[in-house]
Amino acid sequence: MSGSHLISAFLEMMSAERGAAANTIDAYGRDLADYAAFVTARRQTLLDCPRDTVTDWLDDLKNQGLSASSSARRLSAIRQFHKFLCADGLRGDDPTRIVASPKSRRALPKVLSVEEVTRLLSLAEAEAGAPASPQKQLSAQRLYVLLEMLYATGLRVSELVSLRRAAVMRDAAFLSVKGKGSKERIVPMNDRARDAVRHWLTTLPPGPWLFPSNGEDGYLSRQVFARDLKALAARAGISSARVAPHVLRHAFASHLLAGGADLRVVQMLLGHADISTTQIYTHVLDEKLRNLVESHHPLASG
């Protein structure tokens, strides 16, 4: 059978036996036609092309500027086609069997340097202690406590703003946090955050929330916190586009790992169910190291 006949037989099977939609059949037809043309240009056929041809075809798609997700979708069609050939006894081996699917590179989280975080905290602390109207002073004190806690614990912003007073444990040395899936974890706080929380508690009126608000939920909204943080960043001379509550969470994790913390410990502190989520922060460190070598190695530009 010729290549076009093999493809037609496969598409008929997809339609009749698997009930594939017309749009799916059309997409598979285009992908397989492109693949078949590449194979033919190599003076090979769909019944004898080796694994190297499949990987070279994927490289060609990448060189054409096709995204990893689009290439992965095309490879999926080719895999099903070759499985069909094997199942029908038209070919004894499957050249796609151990070909890795293209993966989109996960975006690295934005991370502030230790010096930048220190600038934010120092300014927030200074503004919290500066003379101002009662309302402005309360807002400044609240922002300072939020920042100290966020950088000390790496909490999700939703976890932080919705903390109850009862979550503060052992004279503010620990927090009891209810995270995703209502899973609870105990998170330690450093001395600065502990002292900030202790003082904050003395200023609060009676109520269940650590950061009360007049809003519907009864506690501070994430949006208000983000707005106040961006304004603080601008006053500290840091681009507000680079700063958001989750960026402080990223900084907490990245700075801990850079200091030698165990990845499993960081996973526990962040409340990640899967360690692969935490591993993104090791990629941030890898990227920084690579940039450092490229910038300073004497042969880097050679």
Q: Which residue in 178, 185, 199, 272 is the catalytic one?
A: 272
The yes-or-no answer on residue 28 being catalytic is no
The yes-or-no answer on residue 281 being catalytic is yes
Q: Which residue in 156, 230, 250, 255 is the catalytic one?
A: 156
Residue-by-residue DSSP string for 75-139: HHHHHHHHHHHHHTTS-S--TTTTPPPP-PPPPPPP---HHHHHHHHHHHHHHHHS---HHHHHH
Residues 6+ apart with CB under 8 A from 101: 72, 75, 76
Q: Three-state secondary structure along 129-163?
A: HCCCCHHHHHHHHHHHHHHHHHHHHCCCHHHHHCC
| Residue 153 near residue 193, CB atoms below 8 Å | yes
* Helix/strand/coil for 220: coil
Q: Which residue in 18, 180, 227, 242 is the catalytic one?
A: 180
Tell me the C-alpha distance between 244 and 223, whole Å.
10
Tell me the C-alpha distance between 58 and 70, whole Å.
11
The yes-or-no answer on residue 246 being catalytic is yes
Tell me the C-alpha distance between 281 and 265, whole Å.
13
The yes-or-no answer on residue 272 being catalytic is yes
Residues 6+ apart with CB under 8 A from 83: 94
Paired tokens of 264: 């499993």
Q: Which residue in 74, 82, 91, 249 is the catalytic one?
A: 249
Q: Pairing relation of β-strands 174-178 and 168-169?
A: antiparallel
The yes-or-no answer on residue 165 being catalytic is no
The yes-or-no answer on residue 249 being catalytic is yes
Paired tokens of 1: 């059978």
Task: Return the bridge partners of 175, or none.
Answer: 168, 187
| Neighbouring C-beta atoms of residue 83, cutoff 10 Å | 15
Q: Which residue in 110, 164, 246, 288 is the catalytic one?
A: 246
Query: Which residues carry out catalysis?
Result: 156, 180, 246, 249, 272, 281
